[in-house]
Amino acid sequence: ILVADDDPVIALGLARRLERLGHEPLGPVHDGRQAVARAHAERPDLCLFDIDMPHLDGLTAAETLVREGMRRPVVVITGVRDPGLIDRSIASGVGAYLTKPIDDVALLAAIELAAARHAEILALEAEVDRTQQALADRKVVERAKGLLIDTLGLPEAEAFARIRRAARNRNMRLADVARQIIEQAEVLGHPRASGGPPPDAR
Encode pLDDT of 24-44 as tens digits. Answer: 999 899 999 999 999 999 999
From the list 112, 77, 114, the residue with the least C-alpha distance to 93 is: 114
Encode pLDDT of 180-191 as tens digits. Answer: 999 888 877 665
Q: How far apart are CA 93 and CA 166, in angstroms?
A: 46
Residue 92 has pLDDT above 70, yes or no: yes
- Quote the pTM value: 0.65
What is residue 96's three-state secondary structure?
strand
Q: Report how far apart, in Å, the C-alpha atoms of 189 and of each of 72, 170, 182, 193, 197 are.
A: 49, 25, 10, 7, 14
- Concatenating the DSSP letter of every residue in 56-69 gives S-HHHHHHHHHHTT
**Percent of the chain clearing pLDDT 90 (strictly above):** 57
Q: How far apart are CA 163 and CA 174, in angstroms?
A: 7
Q: How far apart are CA 29 and CA 34, in angstroms?
A: 6
Residues written for the chain = 202
Positive/negative CA dihedral, 117, 120, 121, 122: positive
pLDDT of residue 199: 43
Encode pLDDT of 128-176 as tens digits. Answer: 989 999 999 999 999 999 999 988 888 999 999 999 999 999 999 989 9
From the list 93, 92, 94, the residue with the least C-alpha distance to 75 is: 94
